[in-house]
Chain A
Amino acid sequence: MEKLHFNFDTKDAISKPVHVGVVASGDLEVIFRPTDKETEVNIVTGSDGFKEVWGNVLKRFFDRYPIQANIEINDFGSTPGVVNLRLTQALEELKDEK
């Protein structure tokens, strides 16, 4: 079990919280919450030793979608492909009910 923390300087505020994903092997839960502070990502992962991979996946995501949010991720051994899909899905949920 490892706890990871990242900050990003992004400014597109989100308007509501969203929650996607499930607690299951090879999957993850992603929660976006609105914030007026610095964008913060807190990850709890069952797979140790992947800080650099997480950093890369998140950087690519925020380069494309510079949202300002407090993000909580609970990971259960997902692949970067699944992480990307869950982040994309959370974004779509944000747009959905605007």
Chain B
Amino acid sequence: MVKVEPHDLLKISAINYLITDGLPQWADDIFPDSLTVVVRRSEIIDGKIPVGIRGIKREQRFAAFVLNSAVKEVITPYRLVSEKVWQNVSDDRKMLPAIKALPAVAKILQEYKWGISGSVGFELATKTNSAKMTSDLDLVWKPNSPISREDAKNLLAKLNQFGVHTDLQVIQGNNGFSLEEYSQSKSTIMMKTLSDPILVKDPWKK
């Protein structure tokens, strides 16, 4: 049994391992290039892992499931960092702001457990072109202890000085919240959970 978390990328052997009532045309066309799905933040039911298929456009997202036994390889966002996968990217892809920023971002976050998600993570893991000139840099982060709003603001200011908007999601078990929202919050913030998102006052409270 492989253990998976939201944002993990799963490689499967063939398109027919996807559990779905049918795929949209774009997914049929593009999925065989990567054979990689993203674990969605939702419950695993009867061994079926909730996953998403990524297309090229933002609205091209499609929900499906895969069985644990169908997973050939798990690539976590954290592994992309520990292996410094961005070093292997071609020179023209390194021109994309979200990819270009990675060496500097890695220096800032070197003491932490962090990973790369979103289109950049998908591109690094699958070697398919999925990031764009306008892509944000989506990161996941597992801090050892809570940080203050002030420290959150300072960290984001450091991360955002490379011409790309960094979206850092703080991961707590299966839940996640936006560090940016926390840094600006006066009352409640949104916590994404395996079921519906909820509003919380203190996102660090377990």
Contacts and interface: CB of A to CB of B under 8 A. Distances in A.
B123 interface: no
Query: From DSSP, what is the main secondary structure of chain B's interface residues?
Result: mixed
B167 interface: yes
Nearest to B182: A22
Interface residues of B, number: 23
Given A25-B138, A92-B199, A77 B61 contact: yes
A85 B197 contact: yes
A95 to B, nearest CB: 10
B178 A27 contact: yes
Interface residues of A, number: 23
B154 interface: no
A72 interface: no
Contacts of B197: 81-82, 85
Nearest to B167: A24
Contacts of B181: 21-22
Contacts of A92: 187-188, 199
B5 interface: no
A77 B167 contact: no
A27 B165 CA distance: 14
Contacts of B190: 21, 27, 82, 85-86, 89
A22 B178 contact: yes
Interface string B171-188: 000000010110010111
Nearest to B183: A22
A24 B57 CA distance: 16
Contacts of B187: 92-93, 96
A72 to B, nearest CB: 17
B199 A85 contact: yes
Nearest to B189: A89
A61 to B, nearest CB: 16
Interface stretch (A7-15, A44-52, A62-70): A44-52
B196 interface: yes
B118 interface: yes
Interface string A71-98: 0000011000110011011001100100
A25 B196 contact: no
Given A22-B167, A89-B190, 6 more contacts: A21-B190, A25-B138, A48-B59, A81-B196, A85-B199, A93-B187
Interface of A: 21-27, 46-50, 76-77, 81-82, 85-86, 88-89, 92-93, 96
22 contacts: A22-B167, A22-B181, A22-B184, A23-B165, A23-B167, A24-B136, A24-B138, A46-B59, A47-B58, A47-B59, A48-B59, A49-B59, A50-B59, A81-B197, A85-B197, A86-B190, A89-B188, A89-B199, A92-B187, A92-B188, A92-B199, A96-B187
